[in-house]
Amino acid sequence: MELRQLEVFRVVAEELHFGRAAERLHLAQPHLSRIVRALETDLGAPLFDRTTRRVELTPAGRALLASAEAMLRIEARARADVAAAQRGEIGTVRLSFAGPSSQAMVGRLACAVREEYAGIALAVRPGRYGPGVLADLLDRSTDLAIARFEHEPAEVDCRPVARERGVLMVPAAHPAAALAEVSLTALRREPFLALPDDSGSAVRSMFTTACRTAGFVPEIVQTAPDTWTCVALVAAGVGLHFTTDAAARQMPLDGVRVVPLAADIAIPPVLGYLVWRRGDRDPALERVLRLSGKVLPTVT
């Protein structure tokens, strides 16, 4: 059974006239009749009662008609979907990001994609940091990411979309909570909370580098898998946590204070990059990237 046979069968069933069906399909009538006979032979049943005066569906023909129409609708939908995907009108773009520091940007991009391209699904994947993001892009398990790097990654295409500064999150009862700013050098004996060393977090790396510049190695008394957990531990009085101002703006601050860092120890801004696989020609991704230029403009 072939789709072309079903299409011919459907038109004959609608016209109940082989001549009119042949005209409608732009076929010679003998050729159309051969197609119908081949379908009947394949199914082992006559589909039409033919006389010189009329054509009628047999019980087998009536049974086939609904299924034939459904199969032809599926074919038409499949063709339309393939064409739409090729134009980038439908598809899925997988977006990885770290956590709260990227939430606002993810939200703006997701909202814009939904408004501009209703057929494109943005599948978000949190908890992915710099090196992990690069691995995900290269093994094609993600398509797009927002991640922070100490240096612009060379193996992917990217552009900077965020410039953030480091801040300290401290318990509300901590002496530093009342200060306008705090120097890292005053914190050498304080306990700290951080993401795991193997997380690949550029923010953690910049923090430990700044502490070494200030003349000490930070005492990390507890690691946690994400910033939300770190901040919950800060609120419980376990220690202090270094993060970015963008992340702090997304966090609940009950029992926590955000304190800027003094400029005596130079801490470079944290750059967030939009990164994607070099040479990826996925039409849906190309549309999202073009839209991202408006929603997440490049920063300098």
Q: Which tens digits make up the pLDDT trace of 214-240? A: 999 999 999 999 999 999 999 999 999
pLDDT at 25: 96
Tell me, what's the pLDDT at 130? 84
The answer on pLDDT for 182 being more than 90 is yes
pLDDT on residue 86: 85
Confidence of residue 194 (pLDDT cuts 50, 70, 90): very high
pLDDT at 170 over 90: yes
pLDDT band of residue 300 (cuts 50, 70, 90) is confident
What percentage of the chain exceeds 90 in pLDDT?
A: 85
- What is the rounded CA–CA span in Å between residue 159 and residue 297? 9
Q: How far is CA 182 from CA 92, 171, 177, 188, in A?
A: 45, 14, 9, 12
Confidence of residue 127 (pLDDT cuts 50, 70, 90): confident
- pLDDT tens for each residue of 38-72: 999 999 999 999 987 899 999 999 999 999 999 99
Q: Which residue segments constitute the domains of the chain, with CATH numbers given?
A: 3-87 (1.10.10.10), 91-162+271-295 (3.40.190.10), 166-268 (3.40.190.10)
Residue 99 has pLDDT above 90, yes or no: no
Per-residue pLDDT tens digits for 73-96: 999 999 988 988 888 889 999 999
Strands 91-97 and 120-125: parallel
